Structure formats: C-alpha cells, structure tokens
Amino acid sequence: MSEQTHPQLQELNRRLTEIDDLTKAESVLYWDMTTHMPPGGQASRARQLSTISALAHRLLTSAEMGKLFDEAGKIVETLPPDSDDAAAYRAARRDFDRAIKVPNAFVAEFTQHCAITYDTWTRARPADDFKMVSDLLKKTLDYSRRMADFFAPYDHIADPLIDMADYGMKAADVRKVFAELREQLVPIVKAITSQPPADDSMLRVYYPEAEQLAFGEKVIRDFGYNFEQGRQDKTVHPYMIRLGTGDIRITTRVDEHFFYDAFSSTTHEAGHALYEQGINPAYDGTSLATGTSAGVHESQSRTWENIVARSRPFWQHYYPQLQAVFPSQLGNVPLDAFYRAVNKVTPSLIRVDADEVTYNLHIMIRFDLELALLEGSLEIDDLPRAWNERYASDLGVTPLSDKDGVLQDVHWYDGVIGGVFQGYALGNLLSAQFYEAALAAHPSIPAEIGRGKFDTLHTWLRENIYQYGSKYTTPELIQRVTGGGVQVAPLIRYLRTKYGELYTL
C-alpha cells in the first residue's frame, strides 16, 4: 500500500482498519465458541457476537463513512487502476454498498440467531434429532429471504446470496456450469461404480488420535503451513479462520476408526490457510487481506487435499512414514492397495468424506435444495425427505438417519441458506485449472511432490494467487492465471487421467 498520501484516503483506511479489528475480535469469540467454550457460555457468547457484529456494521454504514468513501473515491480516480490502494478502495466500496442496504437491527438479530442455531445443531446432530433444530432453521430461511430482498430487484432470490460468496455470479451462471459438469461427470461415475470397489478396510481400523494429529501436522508443515502463525484444534465441523495477519488457524475432527477423516480435513483446511498466510502482509487491516471468493478459496483447499495429498507421488514418499507410525494397521498393506483405498470411488452419504469423482454431485444436491427452499417450493419440514430422495436418485444411497443426511453439514445452521455450497464445486473446477497452469510452468512438480518437496508448487501459487488476496475479482484472477474463465474440461481431464489408471474408463 503505497499511495496513502491523501488525508481522506488515510482516514478512510484508518477507520476501515478499526472495523476490521472488530470483526477479527468477533472471529476470536467464534473460534473459542466452536473449540473451547464451555456449554454454559452459549447465551452470553451469542449476545457478545451480536453486539460486536452490530457495532462493526453500524460504524461501516455511518453517514461519515459514506462521505469518506465519496471523497476518497475522487482521489482513487486519479490513481493507477491496478494500484493496491485503488483495488483496496474498490473492495471496501463493494462491502460498504452491500452493508448500507442491510439494517443494523437485522445484523444484530441474525448474528445472535446464528450463534444459537449453531449451538443447537451441535446437540441435534449427535442426537439425530432434526426437529430439535427445525424451528430455528425456519427462522434462518426467513432471515435468508429477507437478506436477499434487501438487494432486490434480482433475477433469482439466491442471486444476492451467491454474489456475497462468489462475486459476480448468479444462480443462472452456476446452473449452467453445473449442467455441463454433470453431463461429463455422470458417465465417469457410472463407469467406475459398475466395477468392483477398492478395499478400504485398512483405513477403518483403530488409529489413535494423537498419532493421527501428529502425522497430519507433520505433512502440512512440509506443505509450508507456518505453525508460528497458526495452530490446529478440534471441532465438530472443520474450518479455517483468519484472526489477523500472522494468526491463521485451522480445525479438524478425528475418527479413531477411520484414518482419512482427520487427514483429509487437516490437509483441506491447511490449503485454505496457505492461501491466507500467503497474502501480502501489507494488506493487513484492509479489504484485500482475505481470499477473493469462496470458489477460489476452495480451489486451494482441494488442491492440497486432493491433487497433492491423494496423488501417487505424494504417497510414494509419505506412505513408508505412515507405516512407521501405524505398523500394526498398515505394515503389511502394499502401497498400491493403500493408494487405491484413499482414492476409492463409491457413492456415499457424507460430503466431506466423498471421493473426488462423486463429490460434486453432493454439491449439486445441496445447491438445488437451497434454491428450492428460497423459492418456497420446498418447506423446512420436508427437507429431510427431499434430501433423502435426491441422494437415492442422484447417488443411489439413502441416509438411514438425519445425522448422516440433512444434519451433516454446519453451513445452514451457521449462516444464511443460499450462496453456501456452489463455491465447493467451483473450487474443484478451479483447482484443476490452476494446477494445469502450474504444471505448464513447472513440469517437475509431480516429481518434487514424490520427494516430499512442495516449494515449487507453493511458490507458484503464492506468486500467482495467494499474494493478491482480494486485489482481483475471481474472473480477473482466473484470466490472469489461466487466460480464460471457469472451465469444466481441466477437471474432467484430471479425473480421466488419474482414475483411468485405477479403473477401466
């Protein structure tokens, strides 16, 4: 940030940094709520989150801020469009223009509601009791519709919510991409699932928690995750959270009878964290100091979780180390058998445990259900039935419990319904697209991964994606990195190449 010589621009950035500090304090409270807070603290924590959220919103939407934005905007017009200050202003102005449409009372109410709903979900899920949280979810749906209506007119009620996560995209855009993806993906799924499934029984024996966590942390440290600027804790649903430059935390969950749950969660969230740790530190306190969209962010988590950590070169290097940690579980299991197991393709109930090939079908189900809820063609009371029917028709499996069905994901119980899930599928597409660009620049990357070396890939991602934070919009970033827009073909090529070696395609 180099052009901050104008008093109005300096004052605007000073106030934006104060607001950012408040939102980071809110994030610390949220992180504590999901990792360490005793159950008795829920009511006061919900109030605290509501207070801070409303205060930050009130400061951002004040008349003084509006005046500062207008004055600073005139200065920004004189700056080079590609300058950091101009980009930071554009990103902050988008946030401001959104925020002024949402009443402060709504922000306070909805934040408190989300904290209460999240806490209820953490109890409803293990109890397999959707009714425990369904009334709260009805309120969430009402809040979500009201949120969208603040931005009317729109082509589809989900458009404003999608735009908040993936700026510039609408429901129609997502549907178009998903239609093309489904057309090419379903034949691959059918071809693979018509063949005998891989044996993954060796993954479903006892793996002590401490050793699982230690191995995962060793791997992500090798990736480049800096534990001097982050940490990993356990939670119900894994996530990454930015508490400030130099404090990027991740969470995971552990199943002592399924090795890959914790490992995939750790590598996935580390991918998000590598993105955040790689952002230019000069952006601290500005609107540029975060990933540019849900889709781009997800591309990084899926790159490290799947393209890297499910690859044959990766396990050629790390499998002997894993066998040394778990000799009784894996000592007699050949590498090829283990590699097939971690890349087993089979329709399943749980999104976060889904294989690379079927994963996007899970996302399409959720996206369609979100749109139906927002449109009013589906009621909350009918959501479990609709969920189960879609799983039966799309994946050929039917949940036997709501815990493994409509209660499995935190997202609808922790924020708005709508604009939540499309980023996961877009991230899968972009992960393959970005990785192709990385390989074109550095064909040696797979061989380096096979030696446990990730510097070339990590450096390329940092130089081409991470450092920019939100400086470029998603379309701008994709154009800079790949020369085009979102494409389905790279992911299909990746899947056909990789799984063509494991199955007959």
User: Which residues does the annotation mark as catalytic?
Assistant: 269
Concatenated DSSP letters of 20-67: HHHHHHHHHHHHHHHHT--GGGHHHHHHHHHHHHHHHHHHHTSHHHHH
Of the candidates 502, 504, 505, the one whose C-alpha atom is nearest the C-alpha of residue 310 is 502
| Gyration radius of the chain's alpha carbons | 23
Consecutive H or E run containing 169: none
Q: Which residue has the tokens 């990746």?
A: 494
Q: Coil, helix or strand for 224?
A: coil
Upper half-sphere CA count for residue 184 (Cβ side, 13 Å):
16
Q: Are 202 and 434 in contact (CB under 8 A)?
A: no
Task: Report the alpha-carbon distance of residue 283 to residue 484 in Å, rounded.
Answer: 27
Q: Coil, helix or strand for 156?
A: coil
Upper half-sphere CA count for residue 267 (Cβ side, 13 Å):
25
Q: Are 311 and 446 in contact (CB under 8 A)?
A: yes
Q: Coil, helix or strand for 444?
A: coil
Strand 232-234 versus strand 240-244 pairing type: unpaired
Of the candidates 425, 461, 458, the one whose C-alpha atom is nearest the C-alpha of residue 178 is 425
Task: Report the alpha-carbon distance of residue 337 to residue 359 in Å, rounded.
Answer: 22
Task: Report the alpha-carbon distance of residue 268 to residue 310 in Å, rounded.
Answer: 11
Task: Report the alpha-carbon distance of residue 418 to residue 412 in Å, rounded.
Answer: 8
Q: Coil, helix or strand for 243?
A: strand
Concatenated DSSP letters of 76-95: HTTS-TTSHHHHHHHHHHHH
**Inter-helix orientation angle 312-325/209-223, to 10°:** 140
Of the candidates 469, 461, 465, 424, the one whose C-alpha atom is nearest the C-alpha of residue 439 is 461
